[in-house]
Structures are given as C-alpha cells and as structure tokens.
C-alpha cells in the first residue's frame, strides 16, 4: 500500500489513474486524520481538473463506503428501493413519493439532507411538522421500514464518515463541481444505506445544481454506472428545473403542497414527476399488478395513510396545523402577455433570503417563509397581476428577496415553447 500522500497527489495531478492501493490509503488516512486538509484539497482539485476513470471511481466509492458502517435491510420483509434528487426549487417530491412507493409494497429507506443555498432540504421541510424528528437510530430505521414501509430521516454519522469530511472540504475549496466527487458522494451514501435499487432524479435548468444538460447527463451516467458496479439496480431520470416545481417553495408551504398531492390534488407538474419516479421505483423493486400501480394507489388514499403513519412513527402530528408566516407580499407582472419565464434559481435565492434556507449548515431556517407561484410559464397575465406571493416573518428580509427577483419574471406577447418535464431516461 502507498505510504506517501504526495505520490497520490502527483499521480492525479499528472493525469494518471490512482491504483486501488492509493485510493484506499488516501480515504483511510483522510478519514483517520493522518492526511491534512491541504493535502486532501490538492487531490480534490486534481480530480476536478483531471477526472477519474470508471474503475478508479468505483474503487474510490467503495473505499468511502468502507470508511463506516453499512445498513443491513435484509430483515424488512419487502423489496428495498430508494430515490435521490440532486435538488431544486420547490422539489418536494420525496415527501409524497416515499409513502406512495411504500403503499405499492416496497420499503423506501430515504436518508435525506438539509438545504444549503438556493435549494431546499427534505429534513428542513419535514421539521415544519410539529413534533417530527429527523434523527433515528439504525435499529429504528429498520423497524420503521418493516412496520410502515417508508422512512425519511437524517443519515447516521456511522455511514460514510469519509464523505462528511470530503464534502465539507469541497465546499470551501471550489471543488464541489467535480462530477466524480459529486457522484461518489451521493452513491456511497445510497449504497451504504443498503438499498437494493435506486432511482436518481437529476435536475437540469436554471434552478439545478448543474444547469447544463451535458453535465447533468454526465453526472446521471456516472452515478448509474457506479450503482451497477456496486450491485445496486439503478436508473436515472433527467428532469426539468428551469421553473420551480409545483407552486410552493419553502419548508411548511412545500409540506402542505405534498399533502395536497397525497389527497389526490396538487399541481400537475409535481404529480407527473412524482408518478414518473414512482413507476421507475416500483419496476426496479419487481412489483406489478393493480396493487402496485402508483396512479391508482395515489388516487385511492393508500399513500396518504402511509404518510400519516410515517409522520406519527417519527413523533410528528400529521393533523397539526403548519406554521404560517406573519406577512405576505405580492410580486407583480411587469406587463400584459404570457409569462415566458419564472427563473427557478432567482426564486430559490429569494426564498433563501426570506429565511427558508441557510448559508452555513449551522444556520436556523424558518418553517413558514417561502413563496407561492401564482402563475407558471405559459400562463396569461395582465400588467400588475400577482405572479409570486412571498411569505415572511422578518420584514427586513423583504428587500434582499425582492432584489434577487429582479429580472426573474419575463412577460412577452407569445407563450414560451413547452419544456418536457422528463428530459431523458438513463439506465
């Protein structure tokens, strides 16, 4: 095994592929603290600039998995399947999706994260529900999957400790965008959680982490390849995130909209993406027949029942009223015509500035702040019609939020060309 971290850095700096021994030496050493942050930062930058070969990346991902525990889901008594989204604005799909797929007969172990920057975090959204708790022990996760069929919770510190260290380092060294490091970060955690199958929702458009289709496609292909290499049945859908998904953006507002979907309503785009992902998950889990038809299960109330059971199992009250902001403020159409664009990233930044998001992991978030999209691209508007409704409790946050929305609402004489919700499928 290599004993010199400088050799590891030089190999990648000069465009070489790291050997299995070099990868294992680095991941073990950095996790244990025997490799310094500045040396790890140098290697991350070299990976960003020089890339990684598929076999090299598979070894890197395995070493990250091996840095901690791996969840054993063999006792849950159902086929296991999970979903991961690369994040977007108004992307509350996990909330209706996990109970929907569980109601179809699968076990859904959704280990989720918190929001950072303009994209929201699933745990922040659920914490708007009175009493709900994000942190569960591994035994609690397995028991809830067996009893309820779905769990959405924080990842245990025991899973992939190497990823936590590398993620924090990448955030402060301008190496977040390295596709091999994004892919291994996501897939190491999903593989370590023990799921047998995985559906990836890779967002593309202005509100996505990777706005360009070629990079979103490459990330999807890389993650699907890693899943296959590690024995996890994996499919990716590349989905649109140029405008906010659904109408609500912000923690409590998104929970309310997710429940609306589970009750058989909700915005068409949110329902369509949820059902598309659910169908992929049910197929990968090997379930079929009328009892495993996501559209039918959503319509007849079975998914709503699982949602309520899932929330109660984690201490929440699904019937409790959600927090409501003290103030609302409209953002109006600048002219008459068709709404041609509602920039997702701008809306996400505005919602973040209203208090729904955070700049640092330790920042608190508001459960009631956010925005409602009263109009979506393609809708007809008159000058002065409200397009967005901002929700806030702190009046000092309104000015910065409005500044983020300058130029975000575009109106023209013709409707925009429709964008497909499901851009590509990669398997």
pLDDT of res. 297? 97
pLDDT at position 1? 52
Report the Cα 74 to chain-centroid distance in Å: 25
- Residue ranges of alpha helices (H) inside 14-137 are 20-32, 37-50, 54-66, 94-103, 122-126
| Burial class of residue 358 (count of CB atoms within 10 Å of its CB; 0-12, 13-18, 19+) | middle
**Which letter, b or e, does each residue of 116-136 get, where b requires 16 or more Cβ atoms within 10 Å of its Cβ?**
bebbbbbbbbbbbbeebebeb
Query: What is the pLDDT, as a whole number, of residue 116?
Result: 66
Per-residue pLDDT 10s for the chain (427 aa) are: 547 999 999 999 999 999 999 999 999 999 999 999 999 999 999 999 999 999 999 999 999 999 999 999 999 999 999 999 998 999 999 999 999 999 999 999 999 888 766 777 899 999 999 999 999 998 999 999 999 999 999 988 889 999 999 988 998 898 988 999 999 999 999 999 999 999 999 999 999 989 999 999 999 999 999 999 999 999 999 999 999 999 999 999 999 999 999 999 999 999 999 999 999 999 999 999 889 999 999 999 999 999 999 999 999 999 999 999 999 999 999 999 999 999 999 999 999 999 998 777 677 899 999 999 999 999 999 999 999 999 999 999 999 999 999 999 999 999 999 999 999 999 9
- What are the boundaries of each domain within the chain? 5-66, 81-160+174-313, 327-412
Burial of 69 (0-12, 13-18, 19+ CB in 10 A): middle
CA distance linking residue 192 with residue 152, whole number of Å = 16
Instruction: Please check whether residue 84 is in contact with residue 201, taking contact to mean a CB–CB distance below 8 angstroms.
Output: yes
Strands 386-392 and 370-373: antiparallel
**pLDDT number for residue 370:** 97
For residue 156, what are its two tokens?
A: 């245990």
Two structure tokens written together for 423: 């851009």
Q: List, in sequence order, every residue forming a beta bridge with 153; answer none if it has no partner.
A: 111
What is the predicted pLDDT for the residue at 156? 84
Query: Catalytic positions, please?
Result: 82-85, 122, 170, 185, 189-190
**Architecture of the domain spanning 5-66:** Up-down Bundle (1.20)
pLDDT value of residue 7 = 95
Question: Sheet harboring 409-412: ordered strands across?
Answer: 380-381, 337-342, 409-412
What's the CATH fold of domain 81-160+174-313? Pyrimidine Nucleoside Phosphorylase; Chain A, domain 2 (3.40.1030)
| CATH architecture, domain 327-412 | Alpha-Beta Complex (3.90)
């Amino acid at each position: 095994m290599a004993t010199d971290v400088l050799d590891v850095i030089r190999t990648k700096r000069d465009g070489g592929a790291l050997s299995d021994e070099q990868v294992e030496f680095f991941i073990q050493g950095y996790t244990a603290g025997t490799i310094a942050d500045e040396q790890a930062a140098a290697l991350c930058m070299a990976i960003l600039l020089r890339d990684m070969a598929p076999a090299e990346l598979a070894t890197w991902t395995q070493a990250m998995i091996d840095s901690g525990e791996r969840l054993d889901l063999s006792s849950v008594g159902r086929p296991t399947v999970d979903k991961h989204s690369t994040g977007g604005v108004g992307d509350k799909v996990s909330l209706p999706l996990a109970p929907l797929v569980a109601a179809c007969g699968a076990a859904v172990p959704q280990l989720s994260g918190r929001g950072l920057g303009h994209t929201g975090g699933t745990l922040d959204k659920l914490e708007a529900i009175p009493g709900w708790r994000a942190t569960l022990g591994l035994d609690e996760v397995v028991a809830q999957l067996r009893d309820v069929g779905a769990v959405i919770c924080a990842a245990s510190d025991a899973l992939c400790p190497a990823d936590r260290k590398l993620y924090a380092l990448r955030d402060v060294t301008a190496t977040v965008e390295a596709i091999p490091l994004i892919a291994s970060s996501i897939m190491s955690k999903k593989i370590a959680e023990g799921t047998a199958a995985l559906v990836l929702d890779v967002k593309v458009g202005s509100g996505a982490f990777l706005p360009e289709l070629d990079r979103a496609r490459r990330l999807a292909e890389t993650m699907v390849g890693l899943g296959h290499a590690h024995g996890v049945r994996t499919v990716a859908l590349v989905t649109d995130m140029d405008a906010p998904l659904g109408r609500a953006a912000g923690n409590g507002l998104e929970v309310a909209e997710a429940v609306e979907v589970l009750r058989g309503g909700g915005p068409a785009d949110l329902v369509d993406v949820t059902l598309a992902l659910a169908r992929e998950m049910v197929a990968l889990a090997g379930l079929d027949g009328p009892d495993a038809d996501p559209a039918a299960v959503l319509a007849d109330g079975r998914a709503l029942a699982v949602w309520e059971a899932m929330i109660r199992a984690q201490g929440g009250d699904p019937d409790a009223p959600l927090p409501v902001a003290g103030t609302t403020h409209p953002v109006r159409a600048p002219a008459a015509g068709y709404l041609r664009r509602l920039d997702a990233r701008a809306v996400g930044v505005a919602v973040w500035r209203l208090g729904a998001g955070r700049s640092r992991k330790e920042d608190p978030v508001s459960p009631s702040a956010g925005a409602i999209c009263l109009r979506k691209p393609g809708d007809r508007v008159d000058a002065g019609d409200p397009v967005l409704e901002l929700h806030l409790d702190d009046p000092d946050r309104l000015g910065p939020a409005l500044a983020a929305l300058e130029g975000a609402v575009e109106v023209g004489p013709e409707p925009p060309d429709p964008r497909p919700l499901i851009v590509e499928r990669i398997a």
